[in-house]
């Protein structure tokens, strides 16, 4: 088989321009493919970062919600403990302020006793209508008034303290 020989001449520009054009086209094609591949890689990386950051943000929010729920449960438990402590304190307060317990303690521990009939003082309220029971300031009183008040205070002080003791015993 015979192959026809083609003669090339140095003046023939077709071969050199075809090669240059083919080289340019292949280089342009390679550049386009590289830039296209680079764009795809960058866009994939961008979307991976965006999606990952979204997942991380969502997970962080869920952890904050979970921590808040734990705090709420802890505070509810603390409220229950404080309520039970308050009930204990109220029960102790009620037991200390009951009159029968106070009376028993006064009779047994302190040695107090009920007043006898001879120790009781009875006041007639009809005779005290003209008496002025207002409290005055000691700085306004003269020496004579102070002496009189001291004598009156002894009598009224005794009566007042007796009434007060009776009142506390009956309460």
pTM above threshold 0.75: no
For the chain, helix (H) and strand (E) counts, in that order, are: 3, 0
The domain boundary residue, chosen from 75, 97, 119: 97
Tell whether 91 and 106 lie within a shared domain.
Answer: no
Higher per-residue pLDDT: 9 or 150: 150
Per-residue pLDDT reduced to its tens digit, 70-86: 999 999 999 999 999 99
Q: How many CB atoms lie within 10 A of CB 103?
A: 16
Per-residue pLDDT reduced to its tens digit, 103-114: 888 888 888 888
Tell whether 118 and 165 lie within a shared domain.
Answer: yes
Tell whether 87 and 34 lie within a shared domain.
Answer: yes
What sign does the dihedral 143-148-153-158 (CA atoms) show? positive
- The radius of gyration computed from the CA coordinates of the chain, to the nearest angstrom, equals 55
pLDDT value of residue 37: 84
3-state secondary structure of 134: coil
Tell whether 86 and 108 lie within a shared domain.
Answer: no
Tell whether 150 and 132 lie within a shared domain.
Answer: yes
Tell whether 84 and 35 lie within a shared domain.
Answer: yes
9 DSSP assignment: -
What sign does the dihedral 135-136-138-142 (CA atoms) show? negative
Give the angle 100-105-107 at the CA atoms, nearest 5°.
Answer: 95
Establish if 28 belongs to a structural domain: yes
The domain boundary residue, chosen from 97, 118, 139: 97
What is the distance between the alpha carbons of residues 74 and 68, in angstroms, rounded to a whole number? 10
Count: domains in the chain = 2
DSSP H or E run through 125: none
The mean of the pLDDT values for the chain is: 77
**Which of 159, 149, 93, 98 lies closest to 124, judged by CA?**
159
Tell whether 55 and 106 lie within a shared domain.
Answer: no
Tokens, residue 25: 């086209």
Give the mean pLDDT of 35-44.
88
The domain boundary residue, chosen from 53, 73, 97: 97
Establish if 86 belongs to a structural domain: yes
Tell whether 82 and 129 lie within a shared domain.
Answer: no
Query: Quick check: 138 pLDDT over 50?
Result: no
pLDDT value of residue 82: 96
Quick check: 161 and 114 in contact, CB under 8 A?
Answer: no
Q: How many CB atoms lie within 10 A of CB 5?
A: 6
Tell whether 26 and 69 lie within a shared domain.
Answer: yes
pLDDT value of residue 129: 56
Residue 75's domain spans which residues?
21-97
Tell whether 53 and 73 lie within a shared domain.
Answer: yes
Q: Percent helix, strand, coil in the chain (nearest 5)?
A: 75, 0, 25
């Amino acid at each position: 088989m015979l192959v026809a020989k083609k003669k090339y001449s140095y003046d023939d520009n077709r071969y050199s321009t075809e090669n240059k054009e083919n080289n340019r086209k292949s280089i342009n094609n390679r550049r386009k493919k590289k830039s296209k591949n680079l764009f795809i890689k960058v866009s994939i990386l961008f979307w991976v970062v965006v999606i990952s950051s979204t997942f991380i943000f969502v997970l962080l929010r869920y952890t904050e919600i979970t921590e808040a729920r734990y705090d709420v449960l802890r505070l509810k438990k603390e409220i229950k403990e404080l309520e039970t402590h308050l009930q204990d304190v109220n029960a102790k307060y009620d037991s200390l302020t009951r009159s029968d317990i106070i009376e028993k303690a006064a009779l047994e521990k302190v040695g107090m006793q009920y007043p006898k009939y001879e120790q009781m003082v009875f006041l007639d309220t009809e005779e005290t209508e003209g008496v002025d029971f207002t409290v005055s300031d000691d700085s306004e009183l003269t020496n004579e008034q102070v002496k009189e008040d001291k004598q009156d205070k002894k009598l009224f002080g005794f009566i007042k303290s007796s009434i007060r003791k009776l009142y506390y015993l009956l309460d």
